């Protein structure tokens, strides 16, 4: 993204909303935007394959593994406003396990893109399945959307909950129930 584009963008946005792009507080905004965009949209430069580059198979572990409350921040593709929350992931390995931080990195790959929560949940579980080939997995995501809090219906405490279920978690209600019980503790 060029500095020229961001200068023009801030100038035109300022004019559109009735602001003065030349005032002191806005003069360095194009540079600040460039730096912010590098973080906010960093997911486009990463892949799930990079995240799961090294997996482990030291013991035949086949019990449920749960990673709870991975916080994330994303940008709504509909309004370009943030949404944020937590994702919890459960899976039962088949042959390999991944490092704990790999799951946070996987969430970041997809959260740091223009996104919907439904898509984020889907992409996390699909890539987990593709990269680790577990017996099953479940992802639960809860988030607050500023497009609903700051504008529109302005409901401050409303959150959206999405989930995705694959393999044994879908086939066996006891496995789903165990995962959900882990989330309550």
Residue pLDDT, tens place only, 101-153: 999 999 999 999 999 999 999 999 999 999 999 999 999 999 999 999 998 88
Per the structure, the count of domains in the chain is 2
Say yes or no: 34 and 73 in one domain.
no
Is 79 annotated to bind ligand?
yes
Q: What's the average model confidence in pLDDT over 47-61?
A: 83
Q: What's the half-sphere exposure (Cβ side, CA atoms, 13 Å) at 67?
A: 23
> Which long-range contacts link 119-128 to residues 24+ away (Cβ below 8 Å)?
120/72, 120/74, 120/87, 120/162, 121/87, 121/162, 121/163, 121/164, 122/164, 124/87, 124/89, 124/164, 125/89, 125/164, 125/165, 125/166, 126/164, 127/48, 128/89, 128/91, 128/103
Say yes or no: 123 and 152 in one domain.
yes
- Average pLDDT of the chain to the nearest whole number: 94
Query: Worst-scoring range by mean pLDDT, 63-72, 111-120, 144-153, 172-181?
Result: 144-153
Question: What pLDDT, on a 0 to 100 scale, did the predictor assign at position 152?
Answer: 85
Say yes or no: 18 and 60 in one domain.
no
Domain, as residue range, for 34: 3-41
Q: What's the average model confidence in pLDDT over 67-81?
A: 97
Say yes or no: 15 and 85 in one domain.
no
Say yes or no: 30 and 61 in one domain.
no
Residue 173: DSSP 8-state: H
Is 57 annotated to bind ligand?
no
Above 80 in pLDDT, residue 57? Answer: no
Question: What pLDDT, on a 0 to 100 scale, did the predictor assign at position 62?
Answer: 84
Say yes or no: 20 and 66 in one domain.
no
């Amino acid at each position: 993204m060029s500095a020229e584009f961001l200068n023009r963008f801030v100038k035109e946005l300022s004019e559109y909303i009735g602001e003065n792009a030349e005032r002191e507080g806005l003069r360095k905004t194009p540079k600040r935007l460039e730096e912010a965009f590098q973080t906010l949209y960093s997911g486009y430069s990463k892949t799930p394959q990079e995240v799961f580059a090294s997996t482990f198979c030291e013991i035949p572990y086949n019990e449920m593994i749960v990673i709870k409350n991975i916080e994330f921040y994303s940008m709504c593709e509909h309004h370009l406003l943030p949404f944020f929350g937590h994702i919890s992931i459960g899976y039962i390995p088949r042959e390999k396990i991944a490092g704990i931080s790999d799951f946070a990195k996987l969430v970041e790959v997809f959260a740091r893109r223009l996104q919907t929560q439904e898509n984020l949940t889907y992409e996390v579980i699909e890539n987990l399945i593709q990269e680790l080939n577990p017996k099953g997995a479940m992802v639960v995501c809860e988030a607050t959307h500023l497009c609903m809090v700051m504008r529109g219906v302005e409901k401050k405490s409303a959150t959206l909950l999405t989930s995705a279920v694959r393999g044994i978690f879908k086939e066996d209600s006891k496995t789903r129930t165990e995962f959900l019980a882990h989330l309550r503790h």
